[in-house]
Amino acid sequence: MAIEDVRTEPRNPEAAATVISILKQQFGEKLQTGKAFRAQHAHTTTYLPPQLPDAVFFAESVEDVKAVVKVCAQHKVPIVPFGTGSSLEGQINAPEGGISVDLSRMNRVLEVNAEDLDCRVEPGITREELNTYLRDTGLFFPIDPGANASIGGMASTRASGTNAVRYGTMKDVVLAVTAVTADGEEITTAHRARKSSAGYDLTRLFVGAEGTLGIITSVTLKLSGIPEKIAGGVSSFKTLEEACNAVIMTVQMGIPVARIELLDALQVKACNAYSNLDFPEAPLLLLEFHGSEEAVALQSGQFAEIAAECGGSEFVWTANTEERNRLWKARHNAYWASRALEPELEGLSTDVCVPISRLADCVSETQKDIAAEGILAPVVGHAGDGNFHLLVLFDKDKPGEIERIEAFTTRLAERAIAMGGTSTGEHGVGQGKKRVVAGELGGALLLMRAIKQALDPDNIFNPGKIF
Amino acid sequence: MAIEDVRTEPRNPEAAATVISILKQQFGEKLQTGKAFRAQHAHTTTYLPPQLPDAVFFAESVEDVKAVVKVCAQHKVPIVPFGTGSSLEGQINAPEGGISVDLSRMNRVLEVNAEDLDCRVEPGITREELNTYLRDTGLFFPIDPGANASIGGMASTRASGTNAVRYGTMKDVVLAVTAVTADGEEITTAHRARKSSAGYDLTRLFVGAEGTLGIITSVTLKLSGIPEKIAGGVSSFKTLEEACNAVIMTVQMGIPVARIELLDALQVKACNAYSNLDFPEAPLLLLEFHGSEEAVALQSGQFAEIAAECGGSEFVWTANTEERNRLWKARHNAYWASRALEPELEGLSTDVCVPISRLADCVSETQKDIAAEGILAPVVGHAGDGNFHLLVLFDKDKPGEIERIEAFTTRLAERAIAMGGTSTGEHGVGQGKKRVVAGELGGALLLMRAIKQALDPDNIFNPGKIF
């Protein structure tokens, strides 16, 4: 998509110019105003048009963050926090211009407390960098949203991913954050204790706030022990219902699967072609088990029985690392496999989440809608959580196509909400889901607005997102 | 303790009288103003003086709650939500008078979704009532703070208890709440999906808000499958360090213990005497394992090795229900056992939580302080979380004694905070911990105040708590 300088409501350009001049003088090269920098910091991974900031500020310390917030607050100029730019709903777009605060240079590990299974990191470190750093400690950071996102960004969108069914989402693994708030000062939401009842849960208020309440400057994370053994396997099912029944039984029996992913027939077809696999073109479950040798054998055996009972193909599991990696690489490449179905089309990635008892219904009804619309949209899901994704392929140049796809994704969100679910399990609201959250949240949205207004009265932090 | 009508800042008595007259006319017997009712709804389980409300309103429906909130909001009269009255830090006291809203008649199970392992309940149901209701479903609600607290109250104090190490705290098991807010309308914080990224996490804002932001009118809870097998056992250690090392190794190895409780020598002595047991008067770990027959055998065996390595006595485990119940009954009676050490003294229950690597240090230093002060205060802790309790026995009639005990508990809180912990792991702030949270929370307290001010500008909900 061409980089355009689209803004919905540009804010006071004089104020932005003043802030840029102050920051330039104080910070020199840390502030960049060139089009290439600004374009890099507007959104490029969604169907939404990029909306460029007026400048990009590369923060290197908490003091830098405080300084930029103080200047922007004084002049009421927007601040858009930026990690790696992998968010999917326009979270890093700058619809009112302002300063993109790039945190990628704040990527240090501040402390690792191996005995307590926790660490504290700067927000710009990516999950892969963190896991590389941790390699020799016997510990790992389990949340895996696919992209090599920054920890600050993952906290801000309440990210999760393939192994949330076992290890939880960012809300479960973030013990505390520090953040610079609208007055330019840093607060600490909590300390390292595993639990606390000391006042409002500000930690989880910042987790998922999408940068609208402040800039996260460090994140204290729970870590997990690297499992002694990892085993994985697949089972193919004739119908979505059968596959979903196997998921429900697995969860109900309390088998602690680390991953249980659902691919629909079209997604399997795409992955077969892209990753040179030969699974039957039918609903497929991919599983992974973590634990001691005995534990993974036990769990795999229990799942094999469930798969057989639900009509699945024989569940063959392996602890062989190479085979397992090949399988999960194919899963991680599902996005590119889907794009490769029609390389000239654009892809819109969307997600919803429903109670698992409604997963088969929600996917089936969505597939009917896909067929009726005549669009290509493979389904891949974190089935253990009832969370699934569509990659909707579309021709952005076809008149009315974006509107048609938006109407389709609105129906998807409304379908999920009607089933007791949510319009987004892990991508966040950003700009893309604003049109559906009002229906989902009702009066709760008024409370959120009141909180936003109380903590950021001039709306400097990531304006135009969530609300 | 004698029931007195102590108030710190009585609010407008004319307004309270007006509200009482309106509610009496509209609701008749649901409103009670007799001293006995009011005294029952002021605090009786702490060392804090009871502060009586002006009246007690027995809500029977969401409509009742909305009506009482609307009337109180109009006249700016305080509302103190009441479940069972088992909170420990003065959460149900009425320092400014007003209406105690008793929710115990709102105790229905609204829905159980067995396939999704969730249910929705009214706030007044107690955890034991809920588990009795669920008995035939194969599911249970795992959070066990000891007292038979109401679910609404447990949510409001972010309660946890003995098996939080396995099943989490209320923040982990509450999927959503509905609450009546200051405008007298009901909001829904989220739906039944296991995860969501749709806006601010209002669910976890209400969990732990101690009734200061609204009245919770229903709670959607995650449930767990009743384990196929439960096994338990004990191991005695020569020192606290050895016992804590065994806990750390257990957590680090990822053994999914359901409970791992630490009793210090004095607590063991008290339990021996009260429950007719004969454990050595030395630090003791009590454990419980949940899972399949193979899983509990595996876990128990793994822990036995750890205990041996750390210098503990032989770990003898049993799946015999009677023996197990006897053991855990003794644990649950720890409070009464401690009180029985000196029956004429009062008991102050307090809790702190530290990273587990600091648990031995924190308990040891606290024991030194106890010895230096010459007080009786047995220690019992949810060691897997680094959370421990003291029951401080004291003579309320001795001049200066309450001040001395408060100074002691302040030092305890400050010690925990200095070790990266919190002044309260599960009891909440209420009135009792207000003097220490400012030091713990710093600037975060200002954000909490701003949120309180935004959502409850007239400070009608549980004034005088947390802040």
One DSSP character per residue, B11-54 reads --HHHHHHHHHHHHHHHGGGEE--HHHHHHTS--SSSSPP---S
Q: What is the pLDDT of residues B363-402, one digit of tens each?
A: 999 999 999 999 999 999 999 999 999 999 999 899 999 9
Query: Would strands B55-58 and B99-102 be described as parallel, antiparallel, or unpaired?
Result: parallel
| Burial grade of B247 (CB within 10 A; 0-12, 13-18, 19 or more) | buried
Identify residue B15 by its one-letter amino acid code: A
Q: What is the mean pLDDT of chain A?
A: 94
Closest alpha carbon to B295 in A378, A297, A265, A387: A297
**Cβ-based contacts of A149 with chain B (< 8 Å):** none
Q: What is the mean pLDDT of residues B44-70?
A: 93
A3, A39 contact by CB (below 8 A): yes
Task: Measure the CA–CA gap between B318 and B299, rounded to whole angstroms.
Answer: 12
Helix axis angle, A401-418 relative to A359-373, nearest 10°?
160
Taking contacts as CB-CB distances below 8 angstroms, the residues of chain A near B198 are 422-424, 428-429, 433, 437, 440-441
Cβ-defined contact of B202 to A447 (cutoff 8 Å): yes
CA gap B127, A353 in Å, rounded:
28
**Two tokens, residue B116:** 């999704």
Per CB-CB distance under 8 Å, the chain B contacts of A224 are 254
pLDDT digit string, tens, across residues A426-464: 999 999 999 999 999 999 999 999 999 999 999 999 999
pLDDT of residue B107: 98
CATH topology classification for B13-104: 3.30.43
pLDDT tens, A17-30?
Answer: 999 999 999 999 99
Q: Measure the CA–CA gap between A159 and B458, rounded to whole angstroms.
A: 36
Contacts of A436 (CB under 8 A, 6+ apart): A410, A413, A414, A417, A423
With an 8 Å Cβ cutoff, are B192 and A421 in contact? yes
B312 CA to chain A: closest CA distance, Å? Answer: 20
Handedness of CA A332, A337, A343, A345 (dihedral sign): negative
> In chain A, which residues have their Cβ closer than 8 Å to the Cβ of B191?
417, 420-422, 440
DSSP A340: T
Q: What is the mean pLDDT of residues B2-24?
A: 79
List of chain A residues whose C-beta atoms are within 8 Å of the C-beta of residue B359? none
**How big is the A-B interface in CB pairs under 8 Å?**
277
The domains of chain B are located at: 13-104, 109-225, 229-336, 342-449
- Predicted pLDDT at B4: 47
According to the model, what pLDDT value does residue B406 have?
92
Residue of B nearest to A201 (CA): B205
Q: Which of B251, B357, B424 sits opposite A197 (nearest CB)?
A: B424
Residue B158 neighbours by CB distance under 10 Å: 28
Q: Do B196 and A424 touch (CB under 8 A)?
A: yes
| Closest partner CB to B437 (pick from A117, A171, A199) | A199
pLDDT band at A3 (very low <50, low <70, confident <90, very high): very low
Tell me what pLDDT residue A12 has.
87
Q: Do B193 and A422 touch (CB under 8 A)?
A: yes
Q: What pLDDT digit, counting tens, does each position of A413-427 carry?
A: 999 999 999 999 999
Contact call for B197 and A185, based on CB within 8 A: no
| Higher-scoring residue by pLDDT: A48, A148 | A148
pLDDT given at position B204: 98
Alpha carbon B230 to chain centroid, angstroms: 24
Interface contact B198-A157, CB threshold 8 A: no
Residues of chain B contacting A227 with CB distance shorter than 8 Å: 254
Please say whether the dihedral angle defined by the alpha carbons of residues B172, A143, B382 and B438, taken in this order, is positive or negative. Answer: negative
| pLDDT attached to residue B294 | 86
Q: Which of A416, A437, A454 sits opposite B454 (nearest CB)?
A: A454
Question: On the CB side of A169, how many CA atoms lie within 13 Å of its CA?
Answer: 27
pLDDT at B1: 36
Q: What is the mean pLDDT of chain B?
A: 94
* Gyration radius from chain B CA atoms: 22
Q: In CATH terms, is domain B109-225 a member of 3.30.465.10? A: yes
Amino acid at site A465: K
CA distance A261 to A139: 24
Q: Is the pLDDT assigned to residue B3 strictly greater than 50?
A: no
- The architecture CATH gives domain B342-449: 2-Layer Sandwich (3.30)
| Own/partner pairs, A325-329, CB within 8 angstroms, 24+ separation | A326/A275, A327/A232, A327/A234, A327/A286, A328/A232, A328/A286, A328/A288, A329/A275
**Cβ–Cβ below 8 Å for B455 and A450:** yes
User: Picking from A291-305, B27-41, B66-80, which range would have the lowest pLDDT averaged per residue?
Assistant: A291-305
**CB spacing of B422 vs A193 below 8 angstroms:** yes
| Domain A342-428 sits in CATH 3.30.70.2740 | yes
Pairing of strands B229-236, B284-291: antiparallel
Q: Give A2's pLDDT tier (boundaries 50, 70, 90).
A: very low
Interface mutation vs chain B, best among A116, A200, A302, most B CBs within 10 Å: A200
Q: How far is A445 from chain B (nearest CA, A)?
A: 8
Give how far A440 is from chain B: nearest CA, Å.
8
Report chain A residues whose CB lies below 8 A from the CB of B172: 172
CA distance B268 to chain A (A): 25
**pLDDT, tens digit (0-9, with 9 covering 90-100), for B155-207:** 999 999 999 999 999 999 999 999 999 999 999 999 999 999 999 999 999 99
Chain A residues with CB under 8 Å of B448 CB are 199-200, 202
User: Predicted confidence band at A316 (pLDDT cuts at 50, 70, 90)?
Assistant: confident
Q: In degrees rounded to 5, what are phi and psi of residue A101?
A: -100, 105
- Tell me the percentage of chain B whose pLDDT exceeds 90: 89
- Across B330-357, average pLDDT: 94
Close Cβ partners of A362 (under 8 Å, ≥ 6 residues apart) = A352, A354, A388, A415, A416, A419, A421
DSSP tag of A363: H
Question: Which strands form A31-32's sheet, in the order they lie side by side?
Answer: A31-32, A55-58, A99-102, A79-82
Same fold: B13-104 with B109-225: no
Residue pointed to by tokens 């607290």: B149
Helix (H, G, I), strand (E, B) or coil at B80: strand
Lookup: tokens for A303: 């799942």
Contact B357 A116 (CB under 8 A): yes
Interface test with B, best of A165, A173, A187, A197 (most B CBs within 10 A): A197
C-alpha separations of B226 from A252, B155, B239, B320 in Å? 10, 22, 35, 16
DSSP B103-163: -TT---EEEEEGGGTEEEE-TT-BHHHHHHHHGGGTEE-----SS--BHHHHHHTT---TT
Orientation of helix B401-418 relative to helix B434-441, angle to 10°: 20
Q: Could you give the 3-state DSSP secondary structure of residue B167?
A: helix
Which DSSP string corresponds to A15-84? HHHHHHHHHHHHHGGGEE--HHHHHHTS--SSSSPP---SEEEE--SHHHHHHHHHHHHHHT--EEEESS
A102, A119 Cβ separation under 8 angstroms = no
β-strand partners of A119? A112, A221
Which residues in chain A are closer than 8 Å to B118, comparing Cβ atoms?
355
- Which residue in B359, B447, B467 has the most chain A C-beta atoms within 10 A of its own C-beta, making it the best mutation to test that interface? B447
What is the average per-residue pLDDT within A359-379? 96
Chain-centroid distance of CA B29 in Å reads 31
What is the pLDDT at residue A30?
Answer: 98
Looking at residue A317, what is its pLDDT? Answer: 83
DSSP per-residue codes, A181-234: -TTS-EEE---SSS---SSS-HHHHHTTSTTSS-EEEEEEEE-EEPPSEEEEEE
Q: What is the pLDDT of residues B221-277, one digit of tens each?
A: 999 999 999 999 999 999 999 999 999 999 988 899 999 999 999 999 999 999 999
Residue B231 has φ and ψ, to the nearest 5°, of -130, 155
Interface contact B202-A423, CB threshold 8 A: no
State the ipTM, two decimals: 0.96
* Confidence band of B142 (pLDDT split at 50, 70, 90): very high
Residues of A in contact with B186 (CB under 8 A): 443
Model confidence over A38-55: pLDDT tens digits?
999 997 677 888 999 999
| Correct CATH for A229-336 of 3.30.70.100, 3.40.50.300, 3.30.70.2190, 3.40.630.10 | 3.30.70.2190
Choice between B19 and A319, residue whose per-residue pLDDT is larger = B19
Return d(Cα B214, Cα B122) in angstroms, integer: 15
Residue B394 neighbours by CB under 8 Å, 6+ apart: B47, B345, B346, B347, B348, B375, B401, B402, B404, B405
Which pLDDT tens digit goes with each residue over A322-354? 888 888 888 989 999 999 999 999 999 999 999
Which one-letter amino acid corresponds to residue B342?
Answer: E
Angle at B196 between CA B191 and CA B200, to 5 degrees: 95
CA distance B25 to B305: 68
